[in-house]
Amino acid sequence: MVIVICGGEGQLAREFAAYFKNYHSAVKVTSLSHGDLDITQEKSVLEVFKQLRPHVVINTVAYHKVDECERNVARSFNVNAFGGYLVAKMSRDIGARSMYFSTNYVFDGAKATPYEETDIPNPLNIYGHSKALAERLIHVCDPQAWIVRTNGLFGRYCGPKTKGGSGNFVDFVLGNAKENADLEMVSDQNITPTFTADLVKACVQLILENEKGGIFHITNSGETTWFEIAEKIYALVGSHGRVKPITTEERNAPAMRPKNAVLANNRLKALGFSTLPDWKVALRKHLELKGVLP
Ligand SMILES: NC(=O)c1ccc[n+]([C@@H]2O[C@H](COP(=O)([O-])OP(=O)(O)OC[C@H]3O[C@@H](n4cnc5c(N)ncnc54)[C@H](OP(=O)(O)O)[C@@H]3O)[C@@H](O)[C@H]2O)c1
| Tens digit of each residue's pLDDT (9 = 90 or more) over 229-255 | 999 999 999 999 999 999 999 999 999
pLDDT at 158: 81
pLDDT at 166: 62
For the Cβ of 99 lying below 6 angstroms from any atom of ligand 1, the answer is no
Domains by residue range for the chain, with CATH: 2-158+194-221+264-277 (3.40.50.720)
Q: Which residue ranges of the chain lie beneath pLDDT 70? A: 159-166
pLDDT at 212: 95
For the Cβ of 54 lying below 6 angstroms from any atom of ligand 1, the answer is no
What spacing in Å lies between the alpha carbon of 238 and ligand 1's midpoint? 32
pLDDT at 164: 58
Mutate to test the pocket of ligand 1, among 38, 61, 86, 90 (most ligand atoms within 8 A of CB): 61
pLDDT at 113: 97
Q: How far is CA 159 from the centre of its chain?
A: 15
pLDDT at 165: 61
> What pTM, to 2 d.p., does this model score?
0.96
pLDDT at 106: 98
> Helix H segments across 53-125?
66-69, 73-76, 84-93
Indicate if the alpha-carbon torsion angle 272, 194, 118, 214 is positive or negative: negative
Mutate to test the pocket of ligand 1, among 15, 64, 262 (most ligand atoms within 8 A of CB): 64
